[in-house]
Structure 1
Amino acid sequence: MLAGGLSLLAFGHASAAMAQATQDAGTIDDSEIIVTATKREESVRDVTGSISAVSQATLQRLNAQSLADYITRIPGVVFNDYQPGVSEVVIRGVASTTYHEANQTTTGYYLNQVPLIEPGFPLVIPDVDSFDVNRVEVLRGPQGTLFGSSSLGGAVNYVVNEADAGRFDAGFEGNLASTRRAGGAVNYGVKAMVNLPIVDDRLAVRLVALQRVDAGYLNNAALGKKGSNDLRVRGLRGSIVFTPTETTRISALSMYQEYDLDDQTYVFVLPGRNYERPNTEAEYQDTDFLMHSLKLEQELGFATLTAIGSYTEKHSSVLFDYSLGAFDGRTGTPILGIGSGKSRTRYAELRLASPGEGRFRWLIGANYSHMRANGDDGLYLEGIGRYIDAHPGDYGGHAGNVIAPGDFYSRSSYASRVSEKAVFGEVSFDFTPQLTLTLGGRGFEYRTRPSAQLLPNANLVPAFNYEPPADKQSGFIPKASLSFKPNDDIKIYALYSEGFRIGGINVFALPFPNLPLTFGNDSTKNYELGARFDLIGRTLSLDVTAYHIDWGNIQARLFAPNDYGYTVNGGGAAIDGVELSLTMRPTRNLTFASNISYNDARLSSLLPDSFAPGGGYAKGTRLPGASEWTISNTLDLSFPEWRLKPRFGIAHRYLSSAPVAFGATLERGDFHIIDLNASVTLAERIELGLFAKNLFDQYGLLNAPFSFAGSVTRPRTVGASLRFDLN
């Protein structure tokens, strides 16, 4: 309840720029974080726009493993927490579901500024493990000018540590924890890093390897297993940095991460607490992504030249049990949905940026991306082939091995080709040392060529090939801001920005002729006012932001009566909100802060839905998952001058209720989560951490595609971590 969340205000919360902790002082100081949100290095307090940066020290203090451990502590952010690899960050309420968008995400994801999201339906939404991550930057509000499509609400940029030729380094993290209802299984993680200088100050290699297991906490009686939804995460990361001269830097970064889920995380939503899985088959979901990138940074005197090239490949395979215990009457077996997909994206970017000093600053660039994706989906019913052969009259005389080969009685495949060319830039001019005008823009051209095929099937829906002509779309995305900074401790700004997504194909609509086969672009326009204050020698920081977003031609995820999801354009939304962050450091040992966000996200016109009463959803309908209130608080107390350097922390977050989908009566949210964490330094550079997540075992709904099933909060988890860092 909101009153309960406000009562914990005194505990405080991590501010809009989560702080860079220092080892020699107990307080958290956010002013030292340097971010690359504007594609140039800049202090987080100097960026004109809403940005948060979660530092490596903060990730460690929170014992963070994945996005779920820290992303909801950022102003204006909620998380459709399904499972790593398919969970979506939602910024400022820009979403049409609490589940998984059936099209491009509304938030862009990047790794050291390299795009991680393909221009189309994302097979994998990378949830980068927090080990050896330097910081995570979260930009709130549309970011179409510098970052392109899939940034309707904002962007997340992971910044991982790269090789350092100046020193040898090594690190290790091990953690062990127990989750209530896990059936005796334990959570564990083993992670290691080594940094090897090969040529002093010139050439170095950095290697990271990790494995993490999150024990399941749901019971599946049909499978006879407690904790059926075990998750394994494995990853490798490698970085090579070569600095042949003082003005030239060449870096290569490769990363592989996979997520293997034994059984899905949803339950039927019933009165009280339910941790029971309803399926009779293990609904696995396995995803992985691989990224290779190469970057050149060259100082030219008048500007810095940056050239980036990358290749990203993703794979996904999934099984869903559509029978939910009610086996098909023809065969006495469950109906299983089995799907697989692959995407490959190539990306190139070239840009020039002027030095950060001077009254006139500029940045100009161009990029190109090309994506190829393909996948197959089918409904499997063991024994249907034999049944068809025994009842030919019911199936037009067709043989079972023709319309249901391998007992797949419905089969479809799809392919997509998307390419983008774009030029972008920003210019800033200081009218006075205190007053700065920034103008930016992006001109883009997309070419899309989708195709799909519905194969002969036992439903007797005519097979067909769908291959429309290539579609070409172009446009211009503007940006403008005016900032006033009378001194180093105050900044006030006004900002206008836009975001957009490209259209696509409704893969799952193929067997249903009444559903639309394609959908078009949508876009957002953001009007924002913000102010930052660092007062009393930076012992008090206050950030206030107010915004209005117009979302047009919404790509909305809807459902047919058979629960098949599809996307349709229509309607619009108006989103109004206020974000307030307060951070206080009354002593060198104590930091507390509070973050409160209010968001009113509603349809501004009718959203058509032929399956809904009245033909759609009326103006004023709240957007799915758009909680009006999000509150998060932290208090951190540390004593670096004491023996063992003890530190204690408490964190609280609250999410108010919101509908899970258009037309749904079920709501998610309306819960409080309390976490505890502490640490001591056992020896030089060896730290022991203790933590309790969801201390009071709060039960709450995190996401749901329908009004009867969804994912729930992980029960109380208590554990310890051991960290070693040579430097």
Structure 2
Amino acid sequence: MRHSSATFISLAFLLANTAAYAQSKQDQADAGSNGDIVVTANRVSSLASKTPVSLTAVSGDSLRSANVTNPLRLTEIVPSLNIIRNDGLQVTLRGVSSADRTERGDPSVPILLDGVYIARRQFTEVSFFDVSRVEVLRGPQGTLYGRNTTGGVVNIITNKPESRFAAGGNLTYGNYDTLQADAFVNVPVSEKIALRASATVDKRDTYQIRAFSSPFNGGAFKKNIAGRLQLRFEPTENLNILLRADYAQLKGNPNEEVSMDNFFSSRRALSEPNAFESRVYASSSDLRRTTYAPFNWQGRSNNKFYGFEAEVNWSVGELLDITYVPSHRVFDTNINRDMNFTGTPTGNVARLDYGHGTQDSHELRIATSGSGPLKAQVGGNYFREKSDFNLCLLNLNAPYLCFARTPTIQTAYGIFGQATYSLSDQLRVTAGARYSHDMKKLTGGGTRLQQGPVYDPAVDQEFPSRAGRSWSKVTWRAGLDFDLSNLTLLYGTISTGYKAGSFNDGIDGQTPDEQLYYRPETLTSYEIGFKTRTADGALRVQGSVFYYDYRDLQLTYAGVFNGVVAGITTNAGKARVKGIELEGVLTPSPRNRVDFNASLLDAEYVEYFPSGAGNTPSLNGFPLDRSPKVAISAGYTYTLPLANTGNLQASVRSKLTSSYSLLIPTDPVTFYTQPATTKTDATLTYNAPGDRYFVQGFISNIEDIVTVSSVNTFRTSTYSEPRTYGIRVGFKI
């Protein structure tokens, strides 16, 4: 399906102009009464309905009501968003993504925790607990959020200490022996000091069905624990200091991949030479999740992720707000995994990941707080990551094929400024820019063919890796927003994003630059949108139309380097993304609520030759990964008031997703196509008077449709959740 840019723009203006309603004054203090939400998408507090950014913000209570208990399930309620498990969480937003999970690579859509960038995606799969809200910002956020936000940002914002006593908790039990529990307590120590502690336990068995018994099958898929301790200190009315420490341990048996033959059977040649398409064939959920190869190694994971950070907010009179956020985080990984695929000399390959890393970041922002027509902020940030991560594959090219990178160092800094000036009471203009500088280097290690788990230079072979380079880029944003009425906001933006380049295995000065290094990826976005609501708040709608000019996007796949298998990243030239999004909530009465979102996406390569420029095949015109042309989600909630002032809520939600492709750009180039699917969830909840406690039954993916999440050149696949169900109870005081 192809759409001209003129058609997209015409539809956007049609949506905006038909969405204007009768005027009614609304102050920020009325946010809760009209279903609005306060967000920090522009790094300052504002109403979501008055923020000229394409965003979806979901409160913690709404996440629980929709059975969204972890980042993976955000896919069900946020338009144009796809999150999968692929050695950590890989986020795709409007077709923009990154499969590079190495310490040299970066995400194109990062996950932030309270505004702090989490560098390694292996440590982002922590279930939601004590969460205030989640903000998903679509489109490049290169000015205010900086590097690695080419496609957008997912920001998880936790609840902060309050000046009152509060406590609460939730307990979930479901099939696959799922057990989730979380709790919090908030204690006001004095008028100026408050403490908040929260913790969670998250456990479940594997979704995989194992056809053969094995002594290495044991253990739950995940057994995670996490905790957070916060202290808020307000020495004066103008100074607020928040200290936070958190810890997460992610354990379990990670053996859950299956053969791609479970999904893909038919194969047809494409119009380009040496290029093929494989489609999912019809089979049951059980067959798709079944593995037929016995395990030869016991899978174990023991990842630790912890850190300390602070947030200092200082109001200088009524003129300036100064914010300083320092952070220190530590990553420890130790994973044993049976790859469980065939086609190698031994039939089984084990994977060992182990290592240690730290990241330090500092950000300083200064924003105006006066009531004049100019709102501005300036700031700077510094980031440094040092890691010693190792990956070994057993029984592939040698007893041990190891990739030792000791250490890899990333440093980055940036300075930025953005200002909004009110030309009139209704019209505002925004301009901003950021200068970013990135440096990456690898000073030791390389690819090693070993006879044992420890490298011995006397008998083992090493292909050293030594590389380092720096990149700089200015990203910018310009926009107009206009209050068509007190209820309707129109906006238009042009913005840019940037992700630094990096390097593959090799030696600087010996390996050709075009093989060793790959360039930064950049994106220029053109977007217009609207946000509107009725006077009584019964209907709230927002929509946007956008066009992306995507250059040098970075694609990662498994290839051959020096005769051994290695991860390789290359630039794919140009891509183009066009789309329309619409989402809203209709509440015709206190008993009835309908929410909906829809996206129409046209994402394709414009210039991409996997074998090198000018060589065949050419993938010009072929789709980007995980970019369904159509995705529509709708939910209905009926609330029945009870005589005791409690209520009973019944909710059902269904999402239709059209087919999408997954690309392996090796020889031969293969597109794997996941056909269209429909998935439906339902909940039934009793809410006690005053919302003191609740009891909820839930079922997800009623159809029991298992879809492909990721594919690789080793012919293994990860997959989505099958049908799950259970009961959840919770309380708060």
CA–CA distance in 1 between the matches of 2:408 and 2:99? 23
Cα shift at 1:417: 1.4
Whether the aligned pair in 1 keeps the contact of 2:129 and 2:199 (CA below 8 Å) is no
CA–CA distance in 2 between the matches of 1:227 and 1:44? 47
In structure 1, the partner of 2:338 is 321
In structure 2, the partner of 1:439 is 431
CA–CA distance in 2 between the matches of 1:413 and 1:142? 31
Q: 1:368 to 1:263 in 2, by over 3 A?
A: closer
In structure 2, the partner of 1:32 is 36
In structure 2, the partner of 1:300 is 316
Amino acid at match of 1:318: I
CA–CA distance in 2 between the matches of 1:337 and 1:642? 59
Q: Does 1:177 align with 2:174?
A: yes
Q: Does 1:44 align with 2:30?
A: no
1:450 to 418, 442, 451: 442
Find the residue that maps to 2:234 and give its secondary structure: strand
**Larger relative contact order, structure 1 or 2 (CA cutoff 8 Å, min sep 6):** 1
In structure 1, the partner of 2:373 is 359
In structure 2, the partner of 1:675 is 681
Mapping of residues 513-592 of structure 1, within 5 Å: 516-535=515-534, 537-560=536-559, 564-592=566-594
Mapping of residues 108-257 of structure 1, within 5 Å: 108-117=110-119, 122=120, 124-164=122-162, 166-178=163-175, 182=176, 186-200=177-191, 202-220=192-210, 221-223=212-214, 230-257=221-248
Q: 1:324 to 1:55 in 2, by over 3 A?
A: same
Whether the aligned pair in 2 keeps the contact of 1:625 and 1:658 (CA below 8 Å) is yes
Query: What's the TM-score once normalised by structure 1's chain length?
Result: 0.84
**Higher mean Cα deviation, 126-135 or 410-419?**
410-419
Q: 1:615 to 1:125 in 2, by over 3 A?
A: farther
Find the residue that maps to 1:45 and give its secondary structure: helix
CA–CA distance in 1 between the matches of 2:633 and 2:209? 31
In structure 2, the partner of 1:596 is 598
Q: Deviations over 1:392-437 (max 9, x none)?
A: xxxxxxxxxxxx8xx6365533422121221111111111110000
In structure 2, the partner of 1:718 is 725
Amino acid at match of 2:63: L
1:290 to 303, 306, 328: 306
Whether the aligned pair in 1 keeps the contact of 2:101 and 2:121 (CA below 8 Å) is no
Q: 1:408 to 1:81 in 2, by over 3 A?
A: closer
1:345 to 359, 369, 374: 359
CA–CA distance in 1 between the matches of 2:340 and 2:255? 15
Q: 1:451 to 1:34 in 2, by over 3 A?
A: same
Whether the aligned pair in 2 keeps the contact of 1:660 and 1:706 (CA below 8 Å) is no
Q: Deviations over 1:308-354 (max 9, x none)?
A: 1001122223334356357746xxx9442322232211111111111
In structure 2, the partner of 1:9 is none
Cα shift at 1:464: 4.1
**Higher mean Cα deviation, 472-481 or 152-161?**
472-481
Q: 1:90 to 1:34 in 2, by over 3 A?
A: same
Q: 1:519 to 1:203 in 2, by over 3 A?
A: same
Find the residue that maps to 1:487 and give its secondary structure: coil
Q: 1:107 to 1:430 in 2, by over 3 A?
A: same
Find the residue that maps to 1:69 and give its secondary structure: helix
Amino acid at match of 2:314: Q
Amino acid at match of 1:254: A
Cα shift at 1:97: 5.0
1:63 to 67, 78, 82: 67
Cα shift at 1:217: 1.8
CA–CA distance in 2 between the matches of 1:614 and 1:93? 25
CA–CA distance in 2 between the matches of 1:650 and 1:29? 24
2:697 to 686, 690, 712: 690
Whether the aligned pair in 2 keeps the contact of 1:218 and 1:226 (CA below 8 Å) is no
**Higher mean Cα deviation, 635-644 or 167-176?**
635-644
Amino acid at match of 1:308: V
Q: 1:315 to 1:226 in 2, by over 3 A?
A: closer
CA–CA distance in 1 between the matches of 2:321 and 2:580? 37
Amino acid at match of 2:681: D
Amino acid at match of 1:574: R
Whether the aligned pair in 1 keeps the contact of 2:309 and 2:326 (CA below 8 Å) is yes
Find the residue that maps to 2:143 and give its secondary structure: helix
CA–CA distance in 2 between the matches of 1:229 and 1:596? 36
Ranges in structure 1 where 5+ consecutive residues have no aligned partner: 1-26, 385-403
Whether the aligned pair in 1 keeps the contact of 2:466 and 2:507 (CA below 8 Å) is no
Q: 1:669 to 1:248 in 2, by over 3 A?
A: farther
Whether the aligned pair in 2 keeps the contact of 1:31 and 1:43 (CA below 8 Å) is no
In structure 2, the partner of 1:391 is none
Find the residue that maps to 1:369 and give its secondary structure: strand
CA–CA distance in 1 between the matches of 2:409 and 2:216? 42
2:419 to 427, 449, 454: 427
CA–CA distance in 2 between the matches of 1:255 and 1:370? 20
Whether the aligned pair in 2 keeps the contact of 1:309 and 1:349 (CA below 8 Å) is yes
Find the residue that maps to 1:70 and give its secondary structure: helix
**Higher mean Cα deviation, 438-447 or 265-274?**
265-274
CA–CA distance in 1 between the matches of 2:370 and 2:635? 34
Find the residue that maps to 2:63 and give its secondary structure: helix
Identity of counterpart residues, as a percentage? 21
Find the residue that maps to 1:63 and give its secondary structure: coil
Find the residue that maps to 1:609 and give its secondary structure: coil
CA–CA distance in 1 between the matches of 2:677 and 2:507? 36
Mapping of residues 646-665 of structure 1, within 5 Å: 646-662=648-664, 663-665=669-671
CA–CA distance in 2 between the matches of 1:322 and 1:718? 29
CA–CA distance in 2 between the matches of 1:59 and 1:582? 16
CA–CA distance in 2 between the matches of 1:574 and 1:678? 42
Ranges in structure 2 where 5+ consecutive residues have no aligned partner: 1-30, 263-280, 452-458
Q: 1:353 to 1:688 in 2, by over 3 A?
A: same
CA–CA distance in 1 between the matches of 2:345 and 2:106? 34
Cα shift at 1:131: 1.9
Whether the aligned pair in 1 keeps the contact of 2:630 and 2:658 (CA below 8 Å) is yes
Q: Deviations over 1:369-404 (max 9, x none)?
A: 11111212223359x9xxxxxxxxxxxxxxxxxxx8
CA–CA distance in 2 between the matches of 1:461 and 1:517? 23
In structure 2, the partner of 1:392 is none
Cα shift at 1:667: 1.8
Amino acid at match of 1:94: V
Cα shift at 1:519: 2.1
In structure 2, the partner of 1:54 is 58
Cα shift at 1:670: 1.7
Cα shift at 1:450: 2.2
2:92 to 90, 105, 112: 90
CA–CA distance in 2 between the matches of 1:73 and 1:630? 11
CA–CA distance in 2 between the matches of 1:550 and 1:279? 47
In structure 1, the partner of 2:477 is 479
The total of aligned residue pairs comes to: 658
Cα shift at 1:603: 0.7
Amino acid at match of 2:311: K
Cα shift at 1:526: 0.6
Mapping of residues 458-473 of structure 1, within 5 Å: 463-468=462-467, 470-473=468-471
In structure 1, the partner of 2:17 is none
Q: 1:327 to 1:137 in 2, by over 3 A?
A: closer
Q: 1:130 to 1:445 in 2, by over 3 A?
A: same
